[in-house]
Amino acid sequence: MNLKLNNLARYSDLTLFALRALTGAFLIHETWDNVSSAARMTEFVEFLGQFGFPAPALLAPLSVAIQFGCGILLVAGLLTRVAGLLIAANFVVAVLTVHWDEAFRGWWPAIVLVFLGLHFAAAGSGRFGLDGLFGKRR
């Protein structure tokens, strides 16, 4: 029986777009409370302080800015490779400092975001992103 699954490759730009948009939307959604509420940002600063981060008042807004800003970039497909590297780096720190002592289920979301970031860094935006549009003009 020949299923000819190789034909599915023609949808890779579409699935890359969907994965990029969903990941970006997730990052935007999960950080919006820190962006829009000083009280929530203060909670995040305190959370990082509990884990011994140096300068949590600086690192908390930086982490939120990376996640929120890169979420927007992923949805648009703009600077996708850079956004992917920043996301991967941000969540490597999260895995190693916050989630490492948890059960696998506890650090699964963060490690998945590391590898999604690496995938976006390697794959770029694909055809359905601003990077792809600008690349075609050159």
Blockwise average pLDDT, block size 10, the chain, 138 residues? 79 96 98 97 97 96 98 98 98 91 86 98 95 69
Q: pLDDT at position 137, please?
A: 43
Q: What are φ and ψ of residue 127, in 5° steps?
A: -65, -30
CA distance 120 to 70: 11
Could you tell me the two tokens for 35?
């962006």
Q: For residue 138, what pLDDT is reported? A: 38
**For the chain, what is the radius of gyration of the CA atoms?**
17
Determine contact, residues 21/74, Cβ cutoff 8 Å.
Answer: yes
